[in-house]
Amino acid sequence: MIAVIALLTAILLPALGRVRRQAKAVVCRSNVRQWAVAFSAYTNDNNYCFNTGLYGPTATTSKGWPDALRSYTGGNQDLCYCPMATKLVSEGGQHPFAAFCNFVFVPGPSWEEEGWDSGSYGMNAWVYNPPSAVTENRFGLPTANNWRRANVRGASNIPLLLDSMWIDAWPDTTNEPPPFDGDFEGAWHGSRQIRMFCINRHEGTVNGAFVDFSVRKIGLKELWKLKWHRNCDLNAATPEWPVWMKKFKDY
């Protein structure tokens, strides 16, 4: 009898684990959908424009997306977390299943940091609508590539908000894939920022919202087929996939 119970347990536990992960993925997608509704309401109130992002001489002259949308979500902090990634890095959370403690970046001789928010979703920073006087982002990339508005052609293929290791990033289809899942340190490099979103949280996919405010699963290799910014090359050469990504679906 004990052997039978042990055998049944060995069979059932993996199945139960899959069910739990699938349930969390559904909750995550629901969270992202609520953010999409909030972004839609925000742009409707702001002539179809998105928020400025963290630009300007002080943090008070610019807004990251959680701050800009706070009144549209009722300040519900739970929406900031994918259920697969709720533990802060500062509390021992490990990427890709970790939440970040976010910082406001204040431009100056050195980037000052002021802690404020935390979460596990990030915005495609190419969607931000910075002031016209701002010609480069903090990585020296041209803001002429920014989408800025919701009413643009091809909005259903322009990422807006995704599962992420950080609050935002400026990806490109020429970016290198991460050598291992959750490579956070390498993701800071300007030519590797797609790594912020290339994380295996949901069985080879992440959940994401698009600029047309639709929400769906996105395959990890599919990230290289999305129109991140205005001059994004959708015909860029397919990167050499690292071992951990080879098993995932091609696009």
Separation between Cα atoms, residue 128 and residue 147, nearest integer Å: 7
Question: Which residue do the tokens 């698009």 mark?
Answer: 210
**Could you tell me the two tokens for 150?**
């919701």
Residue 14 lies in a domain: no
CB 171 within 8 A of CB 223: yes
Residue 63 lies in a domain: yes
Residue 6 lies in a domain: no
The residue segments making up the domain with residue 27 are 22-245
What are the tens digits of pLDDT across the range 135-153? 988 788 999 999 999 999 9
Residue 58 lies in a domain: yes
pLDDT band at 113 (very low <50, low <70, confident <90, very high): very low
Separation between Cα atoms, residue 183 and residue 13, nearest integer Å: 29
Q: Quick one: which of 55, 232, 230 has its CA closest to 152?
A: 230
Residues in the chain: 251
Q: What is the DSSP string of 204-220?
A: SEEEEEETTS-EEEEET
Q: What percent helix, strand, coil does the chain show, rounded to 5?
A: 35, 20, 45
Amino acid at position 63, single letter: K
Separation between Cα atoms, residue 171 and residue 242, nearest integer Å: 18
Residue 10 lies in a domain: no
CB 165 within 8 A of CB 210: no
pLDDT band at 75 (very low <50, low <70, confident <90, very high): confident
What are the tens digits of pLDDT across the range 82-91? 999 999 988 8
Least confident of 53-57, 97-101, 119-123, 169-173: 53-57
Domains held by the chain: number: 1
Helix or strand or coil: residue 136?
strand
What are the tens digits of pLDDT across the range 18-34? 668 788 999 999 999 99
Whether the bond into 179 is cis, omega within 30 of 0 = no
* pLDDT of res. 21: 77
Residue 4 lies in a domain: no
* pLDDT of res. 178: 97
**Could you tell me the two tokens for 133?**
């006087």
> Does this model's pTM top 0.85?
yes
Residue 161 lies in a domain: yes
User: Residue 122 is inside which H or E element, if any?
Assistant: strand 121-124
